[in-house]
Structure formats: C-alpha cells, structure tokens
Structure 1
Amino acid sequence: MSKEVIKVKGGQTLTGQVDISGAKNSAVALIPASLMASEGKVVLEGLPEISDVKTLMSLLNDLNIKTALDDTTLEVDASEAENMPLPNTKVQSLRASYYMMGAMLARFKKCVIGLPGGCPLGPRPIDQHIKGFEALGAEVTNEHGAMYLVAEKLKGAKIFFDVVSVGATINLMIAASCAEGKTILENVAKEPEIVDVASLLNKMGADIKGAGTDTIKINGVEKLHGTRHSIIPDRIEAGTYMIVGAAAGKNFTVNNIIPTHMESLSSKLEEAGVHIDMGDDYVVISSPESYNAVSVKTQVYPGFATDLQQPLTPLLFMAEGVSKVSETIYPARFRHVDELKRMDGMIEKKSGSALIYPSTLKGADVYASDLRAGACLLISGLIAEGVTTIHNVNHIDRGYSDIVKKLSSLGADIWRETIEDEDI
C-alpha cells in the first residue's frame, strides 16, 4: 500500500507574497448551515480548498441536497432536502460534523448522526451542545455510537454555557434560528468565525444580534432562504504563514488578512524580535538576526489561539533563552513534542505546558498527529538542517489549502512523494 508524504529541505530564505484562503473554521459551519434554506440557493464564496469542505459536501449530498463547487465558490440547493441518517465513516473524519446536528434539528426537527471525529486532541465532550439542544426542547439519546435528536418543535430558551465553547455557540445559534420565540445564549465564545456564521444566517432571514459579544439574542423565524455570502479570511492559516515568515522570511508578505484578528500573534512575534509591518489587509514580515525567548498562554479569543500554539513552537527553538508555551484550551495538545525530539529539538513537556530550549533542528522522519501538529512539523522542516519527511499528511490537507504549492512559490524546497509501506 502506498502513502503520500511531504518532504522539506530546510535552510531556504523565503520571500514573496502568499494569499490567505477563506476560514476553515467558518467553512465547516457555513456549509451545514446552508442546508436550512428551504427555498433558493445558498452561494458561499471564497471557501478554502481543503478536504473538510468535500466531506461536508458529501454529507449534504446524502440528504438529497444538490451542491456544485466551482473553484472556491460553492452553490447549495437544499430545497428538496430529505432527512436521512448520516454515515458514521464520513462524520468521524471531522469534528465539525456536529454542526449538522443543529442544522438538521432546525430544518427537520430530528436527525440521526454518528459521533463526531476529527483531530485527536484529548477529551472534547459535546455536553454543552446537548444541554443546549435539550433546553430548546429536543430529546437527545446516544444509541450504538450514534446521536438521536428529536423535537416536536423547538422553543426559544435562556441558555448559559458552563464553559466557553465555539462549537456549542455556533451549533445552538444555528438551531435557535428556527426555534419558536426568543433564545438568549450567555457566556458564549466571541471568535470571528461566530460572527461570520451569524452574518450568513441573518442574510438567510434569521434574526441574530450580539455575535462577537458574550451574549447572543436570537428571535426565531419560521424558515430560512437562499443568499450569497463571502467567507472571512482564515486567521489560523494567516498566523501559520506569519510564523513561517518570522522563522525563515525576508520581505515576506501575507495578503488577505484582517489585522484585528491577528493582534495576539502579532504582539507575541514582535516581543520575540520579529519585524512586522501591518497594512490594512496585509502584513510584511522579516526574520531578525536573533530572537527573544517568550512565554505564551493560549486563551479563548481574543487571546492567543490554541490552533497557533503548535505552529509557533519551532520558532522558539531559535530564541536565545528558554521559552514556555502553556495550553489552557486542550491540555493534551502536545503530541508534536515527541516528533520535535526526533528532530533534536530540546523540549520538555510538563502538565499542560512545554519548555523550549535553544536547539538546532535536524531533518528526520516525523508523523503529524493532527492538523496543527502537521503545520508545526512543516515549519520545523523549513528551518531544520537536511531533509524532513512528514507522514500522515491527510491531517495537513484538512486545513491548509495548497500548502506545498504556496510554500514552493515563496522559495521553499518542498515536495510531495508517494512511498510504499516498506519504505516507511
């Protein structure tokens, strides 16, 4: 059996411009939300070219929903949608499949769907989602590894989230859009992707106010309709390329960004000594002669994004002094540490934190355990001596559109290869 790997020969100085794609974390919610349009077509513009988009399109197709993808524009016609159980294999390939629950519950008042999968980042329960669905009047049961959601009708409710959750915020916002009466969601997440989803739903006829604050108010409507919507830029992809520029770039320009979305990363890179020139919708970055050690703690937005913790780590090996990364969102998000050690990285993991010591990375065979760990290993390969071979590249392809092509155009010595199992 053959497998694809990505190989990187380190030591190149990268220069030029890279354009950021639409936000993955918006796309995976916008596509399920589109199934709620009982009349007209939903057109989503600027989608990232990633495997998660195709998986979600396939799930829509299973519900007799017509989809057509032209480059980065997706047209969804859900006018003849049929409620069908969704196959476990597809659902388990991405965690964001749980947005199908809120959308199907709103449209059909019932659904059967397998438990969500995605990156293995330790326990990530969906209890806040279930609590919210039940508050809206749904009965939720787990039978043989599938979720059964049924409601005679959804009724607005006041729901306070025990923990701040992006997924639960979006899912309940979607479901409540077609609930009878008023729903108030409190202690919600404030991420830009939530605002983006609310914007789409409002264009479809929903009545949502407060997205981006800690309280969202939703007046339920009877049905939603088609519309056209342009997705926001992907702040995590933008951040990943900003780190690439910080580690190996000269006059390295990242286009199609929203600067306010990047503030927590920009300030940390500047603290590390990186040269940053922020424009209206772009940033120019150059790596410095030397780096300062920094301490980073992940927080909910607008704090430092957990999804950028792993990509940032390789840069810290280049700093003078010991850096510390603390993970407060997913304490188990350190599966990249053992792979960095294969590359001679001096890194020490301690309950929810990692200490990073000055190190010269060496090329090695490494394995991506999840999406952002894959980005971490790519950046490590760019600054390492020799050739790094990255396995499990399917994780990387879930969230980064054309990353090998984009890095090649910037001067990276990077390519894909197909190898046989006995070569691994």
Structure 2
Amino acid sequence: FLARVGEGRISLPGGCAFGARPVDQHVKALRALGAEVVEEENTFYARRTRPLAGRVVFDLPTVGGTEQAMLAVALGGEATVVQAAMEPEVEDLGHFLRMLGVEVHGLGSPILHIRGARQLGGGTYRIIPDRIEAGTYLLAAAATRGSITLREVRPDHLDALLDKLQQSGHRVEVGKDWVRFWAVPDPKPFFVEAREYPGFPTDLQPIVTAYLATVPGQSAITDRVYPDRFTHVGELARMGAELYLRDRTLLINGKRLRGAQVKALDIRAGGGLVVAALSAEGVSEIEGVYFLERGYEHLEERLKALGARVGLEETPLALAAD
C-alpha cells in the first residue's frame, strides 16, 4: 500500500495461534524507511510523504519483516536491510522482484540492498516448491517406516531435515529436483533445535515431534524461533505419545501410537497429527481440517496415492456454515 498509493490501514494479522507473534519488527522497518506508522485500537495506519528509503537493522532475523522492507521500497524506494532473513522464500521473492525490474543484491546473505524501479514490469515466474509440504511427506514415510519419491522439489532447501533423517538411520538419495527415501524398521532418536534457515525449520517442528513419538528411545526438541510452539503436544498425548515439556524443551519417549479423536489447532500441528495418525494402530479422527487445507494442497488425494486409508468428512455444522 505504501509503495503504490502512499498510505494504508490494516488490522492486527490473524494466522495460526501457537504463541507470541509480534509485529514490532515490521513497524520498525517501515519507520526506518521514513513511513509514519500509528497504532489505534489494534489497527495500524501508515503513510509516506516521499519515496521510502533508509537502513533497516532488525533485532533478529524475520521472514515477514524482511519481505515487508523489500516490498515497501520496490517501487521507487531504496533500502539496506541488516540481519535479513535468509529463508528460501525471501530469496525467491528477491528473484521475482528482479524480474519486475527491481535491483536486489545480497540474496542468501544477512545483508540486502534493494533499489526500487520507477515502474514495475511483468513476466512469468515459477515459485519454489514448498519445502514444508515436502518435509511433511518425508516424515510421514519415516513414521510409517515406508518409502517415498518426491519430484519437483529442492533438496538443498531440505538439508536440515534430510540430515536428521539420515542420522536416524534412514536411507536418502537426492538429485537436482528429486528426493528418494527408504525408512529402516528400527530408527534412532535424535535432538532437534528449530531455528532460522539454514537450520531446522520451525514449521516442521510439530511434524518431526510426531515422527519422534514413534521412535523408541528418548528424543528432545527445542524451538528458538517460537519457544512456546507446542500446541500439538496435548493432542499427540491422546494418541499415547509420551511427551514431557520442561523449561521449553520437549522430551519424547518414542513408542507405538494408537488411534484417537484429536483436533488440529494450527496448520503444522495438524500436519503432525496426520503423520501420527498414519503410523498409529487403529482409526483416528482429526478435527480442524480447515487448517490442513490452508497448508497442504490435495492432501487427501496424495495420501491415498501413497497407500493411506484416509477420507474427508464434512460435519453438519460445517455444511450449515457453507
């Protein structure tokens, strides 16, 4: 809004509620670029009186904040961004902006320099594959001790996960745009610390929790990005998982899980419940499918193609809401 029309108004964002998700770094970035930003009754008002330009120094890497700064100056502005997020999605946005005529330097590093175009061009662009979706299917195969081949993926974006799967004893082969995975029947437990890219992604933390809940022995998980992101723990416990949260560290004693009626409380917690249900003995029912539909395209069809017995049922309440 600021770049195109000079002002904008937006309420506090929604999204998955799994802990504190402040927007202070977004506001800091816009103010550093010269925008006036005011918050009133959970609504942000912003305006600019000149092309946005300046130096943004984030207190910590932030994907959304970095993308906010890049987009804000894409049309006629200029910025240097320090401690920029290095996630593949940020780099992909940079390549897209270049196609439109924006100068972007430093992609893949913590310091970016962006010089906006007077007028944006056009073109055809193919976005990168979804690394979190790919990781979910790999962990589903690991949890069920199966095998899978993923095509049209970026293995280099999955390094942290593939390393952990190999550490667990599984066999992995990769090519330019494919991954083949074969599970072993007796995998080993491991420790995971979710953190900024190129570390283990926080969005796979609930899903790797579900996998490790099936692996005999003790595993441990911490999350540096969202230290309280453990909404999935109680639901996994309904399936028999032995999980203990101590000082923001999740300890897991892996065992055979059992089917249960559970509820997805956010997208990735839902992904974890699907992985757990696939590996569990008996039938599971997962409520909150609308979360899964936000994060996984054609989930039912793809799971069936892998041999899963899965079906989507709409409740009378959901049908009435439609």
Q: TM-score, normalised by structure 1?
A: 0.73
Partner in structure 2 of residue 235 of structure 1? 131
Equivalent of residue 192 in structure 2, options 282, 288, 296: 296
Q: Report if aligned partners of 1:331, 1:351 keep a CA contact under 8 Å in 2.
A: no
Instruction: State the Cα distance separating 1:179 from its structure 2 match.
Output: 4.1
Partner in structure 1 of residue 116 of structure 2? 220
**What secondary structure sits across from 1:415 in the alignment?**
coil
Q: TM-score, normalised by structure 2?
A: 0.95
Task: Map 1:145-184 to 2 at 5 A.
Answer: 145-180=42-77, 182-184=78-80
1:318-360, Cα deviation, whole Å (9 max, x unpaired):
3231000111110111010000111111111123221110222
Cα distance in 1 between the residues matched to 2:209 and 2:234? 13
Partner in structure 2 of residue 337 of structure 1? 233
**What secondary structure sits across from 2:295 in the alignment?**
coil
Q: Report if aligned partners of 1:326, 1:352 keep a CA contact under 8 Å in 2.
A: yes
Cα distance in 1 between the residues matched to 2:34 and 2:201? 33
Partner in structure 1 of residue 320 of structure 2? none
**What secondary structure sits across from 2:173 in the alignment?**
strand
Q: Report if aligned partners of 1:156, 1:220 keep a CA contact under 8 Å in 2.
A: no
Q: Report if aligned partners of 2:36, 2:46 keep a CA contact under 8 Å in 1.
A: yes
**What secondary structure sits across from 1:239 in the alignment?**
helix
Cα distance in 2 between the residues matched to 1:381 and 1:158? 48
Cα distance in 2 between the residues matched to 1:107 and 1:419? 43
Task: State the structure with bigger RCO (CA 8 A, min sep 6), 1 or 2.
Answer: 1
Cα distance in 2 between the residues matched to 1:404 and 1:353? 32
Q: Report if aligned partners of 2:145, 2:184 keep a CA contact under 8 Å in 1.
A: no
Matched, 1:361 2:239: no
Cα distance in 2 between the residues matched to 1:317 and 1:220? 48
**What secondary structure sits across from 1:291 in the alignment?**
coil
Q: Report if aligned partners of 1:138, 1:154 keep a CA contact under 8 Å in 2.
A: no
1:249-292, Cα deviation, whole Å (9 max, x unpaired):
54411111111111100000111111212222111112212011
Matched, 1:124 2:21: yes
Task: Map 1:9-88 to 2 at 5 A.
Answer: none
Q: Report if aligned partners of 2:208, 2:272 keep a CA contact under 8 Å in 1.
A: yes
Moved over 3 A (4+): none
When structure 1 is superposed on structure 2, of 270-279 and 335-344 the one drifting more is: 270-279
**What secondary structure sits across from 2:107 in the alignment?**
coil
Matched, 1:386 2:279: no
Q: Report if aligned partners of 1:291, 1:318 keep a CA contact under 8 Å in 2.
A: no
Matched, 1:111 2:23: no
Give the superposed CA RMSD.
1.4
1:345-391, Cα deviation, whole Å (9 max, x unpaired):
11111232211102221111101110000000000000001111000
Q: Which consecutive unaligned segments of at least 5 residues does structure 1 have? A: 1-103
Instruction: State the Cα distance separating 1:124 from its structure 2 match.
Output: 1.0
Higher strand share: 1
Matched, 1:349 2:245: yes
